[in-house]
Structure 1
Amino acid sequence: MFIVSKKMKKILAGLIVLPVVLIGSLSLFGFPPAYLFSATDVATGIGAKLLCSSRYVSLFSQEQAFDDLVQYSSILQQLEVEYDEANKSVTTSLFGLSEKTARYLPGIGCAVEYAGYEQRSELKTQQVALSSLAWPKGNNIGLQNERLSNVLRQQVQQDNELGLNTRALLVAHNGRVIAEAYAQGADASTPLLGWSMAKSLNSIMLGRLEYEGRLDLNETPGFEQWSEDERSQIRVTDMLTMTDGLGFSEEYNPGDDATAMLFTVPSSSDYVMEKAALREPRSHFNYSSGTANLLSRLYQETLGDSQDSYDEYMRAIYRPLGFQNAIFEVDASGVFVGSSYLYASARDWARMGQLMLDDGIINGERIVTSGWIRRATSPNESTNQKAYGYQWWLNRGNENLRWSDIPEDAFAAQGNRQQYVMIVPSLELVIVRLGWTAGSYPVNDRFSAIAQSL
C-alpha cells in the first residue's frame, strides 16, 4: 500500500493550488481561464519581441518600451524582463512557466529566437547611407508651411492631452513634405511601428513582382500544401483582398490565431498554411493577418530563399522608394512578417503614400503599374465589406463613406494603435499619423481639418 507523507501532501496540494492561483490571476488581469497555458507563451512572446524592437529599433528607453507594452494587458506588468544591452537582446519570463528571448540584428530588427532556426542570423544585410537629397529621394524637406506646421503641433498637443499618444504627424502635398510634428521621444528619423500598415507595403512588393513579370496575381499562389484540396482554387488577388475564405481568427485573445501566429511560433507562414478554407473565395471579407503572412511567404517562394527575398526587397523596394530609416523585420524562419512588423519614420511611411499617389512612380522610377494602382484601390467583390482593396482600406465601396468628411477617393494603410497613411488623390495629399492609441482616434475630424488648412 502506497502511503503519502505529510511532505508529499504539501507538494501535491501546491501543485493543485498553483494552477488555481494562476487562473485566478490571469482572469483578474484580463485573460480567460481557458487560455492559461497559451497566455503565458503569448505574454512572454509579445513582451520579448516588442520590448526588443522598441528599445533597439525605435531606440526608446527601457521605461517607455515597457510603458507601451503593458497598455495591451495589465498581466504584462508581471513579466520579469532582462535586457542585454551589449548583445541587444531581451529575455522575458512569466510565473516561471514560459521564457523567451528576442534578439536584434542590424537591418532586420528583432525576432524571438527558436532552437533550430538560423535563417535570420545567416542573412547578409545591407546598410544604406542616408541621403541629403530632396525628399522623397533623400531627407531634405526644405522650407515648411509654418501655418500648417502650427496646426499639426496643436493637434499633437491636443491628442496627447487627451491621452491619445500621437508621436508623429506629417503632411505631404503636391509631392513635398510641407509640415510635420513629433512628440513622446520620436523625431523625423525614428522608425515607428506601423503594425498592419506593413500589409500595404507587402502588397506593393507583390505588385512589383507582377510588373516585372515574375508573378500573376490572377493565378493561384501555387502552395504545395494547398494542391490537393479546395484551397487550390484561391487566387493571389483573393488573398490580397482578404476574401480567400480561409478560417483565420483575428480576435487577439491568448490562444487566438493572430496572437499564436505572431508570438508563439517560429514561422508565421507555416502556422497559417495549415488553415482550412471555410468559405468560397471572393464571397466573404475576413480580415486576416495570417493571409498577409502567406503573401510574404509567396514573395519569398517566388524569388527563392530568405536571402533572395531580402536582396530583392532592398533592390526593388527599399532603394527606389528612398527609404532612410525603415526596418522590415523577418521571423525566425527568415520570412518577412508582412502582417505587422515594418518600422519606419514618418517620412518613410509618407514615401509609400507618395508612390500610391503618383500612380506607381517615385523618384523617377516605376515600381508598380498604373493598372495595379487602380485595382489595388478598387472595392472587392465580397458581400459584407467591399471597401477594401489590395491590403488598403478604402473610403468608398460600402453604402456610406468610411470617413464622411474626407473626399471619396481617399484610401489608407491602417495599423493597430491607430497608425495611418492616408492618400487623397483629388487633393494631391498624403497624411501620416503614428502613435500608441489604446482606443479610437478621431481620424475623420483630424484629417479633414488638415485638408481644410491646405
Structure 2
Amino acid sequence: MQLIKAIFIGLVLIGISVLAVFFIWLAPVGAAYSAKIMCSAIFVDGLTSTRARDVDVLADNNPLLSLITTNVDLRNQTVSAHAFGFRKRFAVYRPNLGCTLADDLDHVAQLRNSTPVMRPVTPRPLLTTPPPANVDRRALNNLLFDVMDEPGLHPERRTRAVVILHNGKVVAERYAEGITADTPLPGWSMTKSVFNVILGRMQFEGMMPDIQDPVLINEWQAEPNDPRATINYDDLLRMRSGLEFDESYANPLSDVVQMLFIEPAAAGYAVSMPLENTPGSDFAYNSGASNILSAAIRNLSGSRSTYLSRPTELLFRPLGMSSAVIETDPEGYFIASSFMHASARDWAKIGQLFLQDGVWEGERLLPEGWVGYSTSPAAEDPYGLYGAHWWIDLPGSRNEDGTPRNDVPQIPEDAYFALGHDGQSLTVIPSRDLVVARFGVTRNSGAFKLRQFIADLSTIFPATSDTPADAPIGSDATTTGANDG
C-alpha cells in the first residue's frame, strides 16, 4: 500500500513539474510562435486561418502547440494566442512591415502608430519562355510532378511553389492549391542571404566601411578593451564571430528561439552574447550574427525611417520585388536572420541577380567581386560549406575532413544556395544558367531531398558554354506551367 501511495505521489509530482515547465517556459514560446506564424501566414501570405493553424503552425510540429489557443481578428489584423488563458501574446500586421509580436493591446496600438509610410514598389514581372529545345520536357514535367507529389498517405513534403529560371526567364513553375505566382512565401534563413545583398548594395553605394573593418555596435564600443569590438563585417557574414549562441530550434530555451519569439529586441539579444572563441577563428552557424548586422545597418543609416527603407530602396525597387516584406522585432529592427516573405518569382530574382554577378538590366548593383566573395569559403575553412551568408554546398555532403562524399547525388560544383527552415531553398547554378526557388512546409528532412532534385534537374539542363553576363529581364505576366494541387 505504501508503495502504491509513493508511486501515486511521484506521478502527481511529475505531473505538476510538467505543468510548471509548460507554463513557465514552453507556453510563452508556444503562444508567441503561434501568434506570429499565423499572423504572417494570414495577413502577409494570404492563407486562410484554418490552413495557417493546421499546416503552418501544427503540421509535424511540437505536439504541445496544440494546447495553444489562437484567435484571429480579421478586422484589426491581429492574432492573439494563449495557453488556457495564460501567457497571452499578440501579433499585429502592419503594411510594408508584415507582422510583429506585441505583449498586449496597448503595445499593438503603439506599433500601429509607429508604422512608416513607404512608396509602393512597381512590379517588374519576369519574362517567360518555353524550356530550351535541348531540354527533355517530359523528364522536366515528371520531375516537377514528383516535387509537388506526396509519396505517402500522410502529407509531409507540402511543396508550395517551384520556380525555375533559365537565361533569366521563367521556363517552368508549379504551385500548390491556393498558392499563386503572386503569393508571398516565408524564406526563413534565406533572409540571411538577402541581407548579404543589402550589405553589398550599401558597399556599392558607399554607405558602409570595408567589410574587414570592425562593426560599430554601441554596446561593444562603450566598454574599454571589450574583445567583441574587434568583430568585423566579414566575421559576421561568414558565421565566425566567436560569439556564444545556441542555434537549436528544438529547445524552447535556446538562444535562437528566445531571440525570435521572446526577446523584444532580436539584435539587442544577439549583441549581448559573450565571446566563446576568438573572432574569425571558428565557423559556427549563428542567427544572432545576422541580426547584429541588422543593428549595424541601423547604426549606419542615421534615422529610423532611412533604416526601414533600406531593403526597399536598395533592393526591392530596383528589382521590382513588389511582394517582398521583411518583418521587424517589437523594437523596430529587421529580423535579418529569418523573417522575409516574397513570392517565389521575387525570391528567384535574388538568385538571378547573383548569377548575373550583381548586374540587373545592364546596371551594376553590387560591387565587382561581391558575388565571388559571397560564394567562396574563408581561406582557413577546411570544409568549404559556407561563404558569406550563402551556402557553397549542402549540409551533409562532405566527409569529416571536408572532402566531398561520393555516396550522395552529384551536383554541379559551381552551385550555391540560400537555405531556410522547413525546406525553403534558392539554388543558383551558373554552369547551367539556372536559378531554382523551392518553398514548402517540410519539417521532416527526409520528405524532400533537395540534393537529389538539383542533381536530377542538372542532368535535364545541359551545361552552357556561353552563359551571358546579364541575361534579359523584362516584363511579361504570362505564367508558364500549371498549378498543381
TM-score (normalised: structure 2): 0.82
Q: How does 1:76-87 map to 2 (within 5 A)?
A: 76-87=65-76
1:399 aligns with 2:380: no
1:165·1:184 contact (CA, 8 Å) conserved in 2?
no
SS in 2 for 1:172: strand
Instruction: List structure 1 segments (4+ residues) > 6 angstroms apart after TM superposition.
Output: none
* Greater relative contact order (Cα < 8 A, sep 6+): 2
AA in 2 matched with 1:339: S
Q: Write out aligned runs for 1:1-400 (5 A).
A: 21=15, 23-24=17-18, 33=21, 37-67=24-54, 68-70=56-58, 71-114=60-103, 118=110, 121-128=113-120, 131=123, 137-143=124-130, 147=138, 150-159=141-150, 161=152, 163-215=156-208, 216-227=210-221, 228=223, 229-252=226-249, 253-381=251-379, 385-395=383-393, 398-400=402-404
**Deviation of residue 24 (structure 1)?**
2.9
Match of 2:430 among 402, 425, 433: 425
Shift of residue 300, structure 1, vs aligned partner? 1.4
Contact 2:23/2:87 (8 A) holds in 1: no
Q: CA deviation at 1:153?
A: 3.6
Residue 144 of structure 1, CA deviation = 6.1
Distance 1:280 1:102 in 2: 38
Distance, in Å, in 2 between the alignment partners of 1:401 and 1:331 is 40
Change (3 A) 1:230 1:387: same
Alignment partners' CA distance in 2, 1:144 and 1:206: 34
- Deviation, 1:314, is 1.5
Moved more, 204-213 or 151-160: 151-160
SS of equivalent to 2:431 = helix
Alpha carbons 1:282, 1:382 under 8 Å: kept: no
1:40 is aligned with what amino acid? A
> 1:120–1:333: 8 Å Cα contact kept in structure 2?
no
- Deviation at residue 159 of structure 1 after TM alignment: 4.4
Shift of 1:293: 0.7
Deviation at 1:155? 2.2
Amino acid at match of 2:141: N
Q: 1:417 aligns to what SS in structure 2?
A: helix
Query: 1:266-311 CA deviation, whole Å, 9 max, x = no partner?
Result: 2101111110111011211111111111111111111123311122
RMSD (CA atoms): 2.5
Pick one of 394, 414, 418 that aligns with 1:413.
418
Partner of 1:4: none
Which amino acid in 1 is paired with 2:50?
E
Separation (CA, whole Å) in 1 of partners of 2:17 and 2:50:
28
Aligned length: 427
What percentage of aligned pairs have identical amino acids? 32
Q: What is the rounded CA distance, in whole Å, between the counterparts of 1:193 and 1:319 in structure 2? A: 19
What SS class does the counterpart of residue 309 from structure 1 fall into? helix
Distance 2:97 2:107 in 1: 19
- 2:298/2:304 contact within 8 Å kept: yes
User: Which deviates more from structure 2 when the two are superposed, residues 277-286 or residues 118-127?
Assistant: 118-127
SS of corresponding position for 2:312: helix
| Residues 332 and 22 (structure 1), Cα distance of their counterparts in 2 relative to 1, 3 Å cut | farther
Deviations 1:82-134 (A, max 9, x none): 11000110000013330001011111110112466946642323353654xxx
What is the match of residue 4 of structure 2?
A: none
Structure 2 counterpart of 1:452: 459
Q: Which moved more, 1:176-185 or 1:373-382?
A: 373-382
Task: Assess, with a 3 A threshold, how the Cα gap between structure 1 residues 38 and 377 changes in structure 2: closer, same or farther.
Answer: same
User: 8 Å contact 2:417–2:427 — kept in the other structure?
Assistant: yes
Q: In structure 1, give the amino acid aligned to 2:170.
A: V
Structure 2: runs of 5+ lacking an equivalent: 1-10, 462-485
User: Cα distance 1:272–1:19, how it changes in 2: closer, same or farther (>3 A)?
Assistant: farther
Q: Is the 8 A contact 2:246 2:256 kept in 1?
A: yes
SS in 1 for 2:252: coil
Contact 2:121 2:320 in 1 (8 A): no
CA drift at 1:186: 1.3
Tell me the SS of whatever aligns to 1:317. helix
Determine if contact 2:181/2:345 at 8 Å carries over to the other structure. Answer: yes
The letter of the residue matching 1:310 is: L
Stretches of structure 1 lacking an aligned partner (at least 5 in a row): 1-16, 27-32, 132-136
CA distance in structure 2 between the aligned counterparts of 1:105 and 1:18, rounded to whole angstroms:
45
The SS at the match of 1:294 is helix
Partners of 2:67 and 2:88 lie apart in 1 by: 13
Residue 422 of structure 2: SS of its match in structure 1?
coil
Amino acid of the structure 2 residue aligned with 1:181: R
TM-score of the pair, normalised by structure 1? 0.88
* Alpha-carbon separation, structure 2, partners of 1:148 and 1:167: 20
**Compared CA separation, residues 147 and 37, structure 1 to 2 (3 A):** same
Paired residue type of 2:267 = S
Tell me how far 1:23 sits from its aligned partner.
3.8
Letter in 1 for 2:347: W
Does the alignment pair 1:438 with 2:443? yes
1:190, distance to aligned residue in structure 2 (A): 0.7
Change (3 A) 1:129 1:199: closer
> What SS does structure 1 have at the residue aligned with 2:369?
helix
